[in-house]
Each structure stands twice: as structure tokens, then as C-alpha cells.
Amino acid sequence: MTDSQQEPYIYINSQPELGSLISAIKKADKVAIDIEADSLHHYYEKVCLIQITIDKINYIVDPLARIDLSEFLDALSKSHIVLHDGGYDLRMMRHSFDFVPKSKVFDTMLAAKLLGFRHFSLGAMVKEFFGIELKKTGQKADWSARPLSSSLLKYASDDTHFLLELADKLSQKLKELDRISWHKQICKKMVASAAMPTPQKDEEDQWRIKGASLLTRSQLVYVKELFNWRQEQAQKADRPSFKIMTNHLLLELAEWAQTNPKKPLKGGPKLPRDCKTGRLKALEAAIKKAHNTPSSDWPMRRKPTPRKQLAPNCKLLIQALREDAAEVAEKLKIDPSVLATRSALISIAYGRPKTVNEIIKSGPLMKWQAEILEPVIAKNLKKFKAPSEDQ
């Protein structure tokens, strides 16, 4: 445990120290939370640090230490927690620990968006309200490495140090504009989204990386085998797949290998420095497998999903909804996308909802969004009638 008089945080990597924090969490009105993960450095990503601030005291919990986190996570789940851009943090906490908040959640970034701030990163918010410039030195750090330097731990503790006071300031502004209910709804949606199970990827889809749709079937078979090789190597090395081979190089190699089936790899695109010995042999085997795949087994090219032909009135309706929604958003001094995304307005134009509940389902939108947009939608549905309504 780091001496809190020497460092601006208390580092927790033992059970007794964690017990003291659990007691503090149970007594606290609000708890600021943030996490650091290792997705930039490992295939099997995980939470590597959990930062907590209570009553201006910063704690850093090390979940990679041999400590039982169950009571800590239970106490945290029952607390009123404050985060900034908490969607990723909550998804990672669910993924690593099956953690789901059971009490109130206040997201300071979402509050900033509802208040019309154009720059709403944590750094921008801290500079706006406290006049302090946060350092960015730890953004790409490998948080799974041990030991972590004092500078990295200080960087991590800064992520929660200002959150409770920032939440109080933003909450007051939300009250002044009567937008507290908006914020509760948007935070509830974030929590629900983070708690949803990660959808399983279709094996026939996951290898179709960006740019593959432009290739021929004879090239796609190489893309598929190279993708499978990359996944296997990433899992073996526990490294992100892009650190084994980038998508751009994978596509370049697939095109070259298809047109040069008998040439050695050293004559093709420059391979990553660590692509040698066993990894190189596996790559050569993947290319050989693609070369030997009969044309009858080549992957089919995916036809682009045909765009739905819109009736002229529907096109005009979409444009009118976008313009009117943008005008309403401007009056509220928020970004139009906060009020309604383009895709939500298109869905509304297709569905032609008549009531607030129908608008909520059609968008889908939150209640506050639907209630604000209901007059705009009603006006434009009346102006741009569906063909069947003209008969």
C-alpha cells in the first residue's frame, strides 16, 4: 500500500486494505469510478485497475493481485456511482466480473452533452471547471504490466479525482435547465446497454474485414485463411490481432498471394518483424491451404443490401424531420444527434408513429426525446402524407 501522504492515491493490492475501502464505500453518498484495461496489448482483454474516489481520497484497486473482489464489487454495485463516458467501463466490468450497477449512476459526459458542451472529454471538462490540464501520458500504457510506475498510477487516479465535484456542478446546471429527468433516462439506457450480453459473431462474417468486399472470390479465400491464421496467432500470443498483422497488410498479402501462388513470401509485401519461425510456417500453411481450396468452396461475395426505394414523400419527410429536429436542438443549445440520430429520424419516417409511445418504439428514442419531437413529427406527417393516405 502506498503511503497516502507521499502519493495522491492509496494503492490497494491486499485483502485488509480492500476491507477498509469496502467500509468507506458503504458509508459514502457517492463513489467515483473509472477503470484501466489492456485491450491495446492483449487478445483476452481484462480490467487491470479500478480507480475509486470517495470524499476527495483516491484509491486504486489492483484486480490482478490475489485478492477476493466479491464483497468490494457487491458494495460498489449498491452505491451511487459517478463515471465519465461510462459505457465502456461498465461493459468491461461486466465482462471481467459480471458487475452490473444496482443503484443510481451519474455519467458526467452524458450530462455535458445534455448541457450543450461541444468539447466533453474528461480533460476538456476538468479544464473548463477547474482550470487544470490533465496529462495524457498513460493513454496507451499496458496496464497489465507490474509494477506500474508512480506516474502511471497518478495518471490513473486523476480519472476519478475530479468526478464527484464535476458531477455536482453539472447536476446543478441540469436542474437549472430542468433536464435532470433527461439525464436519468440516458444514464439508465447506458447501464442497460452495457449489461446486455455480447452478441456472438457469425463465423462466416467475422473474417469479412473492411475492404474485403472489393475483392474477387479467388482473393476472398486467401483473406479468410489469413484471417483465421491471424486469430490463432493472436490467441496463442495473447496479443490484439492488429499487432499480429494489420487489416491493410492482410488484404495486401491476400491479393499478392493469389496472383503469385508459387513465389516465396519474401518476395511479397513486407511482413511484420516478429513473423518468423513457427508463425511464418503457419502463415505459409494458411496461404497453401487457400491456394489448394477448390473454386467450388471459395467464399461467395456478399451482395450489398439493396436500399429500400423511398417514395418521394418519404424522402421529403426525412429531410423535413432532420431540418426541424436540428432547429429544435439549436433552440435547446444541444447537438442535433443528442436529440435524435439520423437513423432514428429515418426509422420514424418509415414507421410514421402517431403517439409518444409509438415514437419511442419507432426511433427508438427515449421518452424525453419523443416528447420534444412529437409536435415536429405530427406536423410533418400531416404535411407529407403516405401514398395510402392520399387515396
Domain made up of 312-390: CATH architecture: Orthogonal Bundle (1.10)
Q: What CATH fold (topology level) applies to the domain 203-297?
A: DNA polymerase; domain 1 (1.10.150)
| Three-state SS sequence of the chain | CCCCCCCCCEEECCHHHHHHHHHHHHHCCCEEEEEEECCCCCCCCCEEEEEEEECCEEEEECCCCCCCCHHHHHHHHCCCEEECCHHHHHHHHHHHHCCCCCCCEEEHHHHHHHCCCCCCCHHHHHHHHHCCCCCCCCCCCCCCCCCCCHHHHHHHHHHHHCHHHHHHHHHHHHHHCCCHHHHHHHHHHHHHHHHCCCCCCCHHHHCCCCCHHHCCHHHHHHHHHHHHHHHHHHHHHCCCHHHHCCHHHHHHHHHHHHHCCCCCHHHCCCCCCCCCHHHHHHHHHHHHHHHHCCHHHCCCCCCCCCCCCCCHHHHHHHHHHHHHHHHHHHHHCCCHHHHCCHHHHHHHHHHCCCCHHHHHHHCCCCHHHHHHHHHHHHHHHHHCCCHHHHC
Give the pLDDT of residue 298.
Answer: 96
How do the domains of the chain map onto residue ranges? Answer: 10-195, 203-297, 312-390
The CATH homologous superfamily for domain 10-195 is Ribonuclease H-like superfamily/Ribonuclease H (3.30.420.10)
Give the pLDDT of residue 389.
Answer: 58
Q: pTM of this prediction?
A: 0.90
Q: Which residues of the chain have pLDDT under 50?
A: 1-5, 391
Same fold, 10-195 and 203-297: no
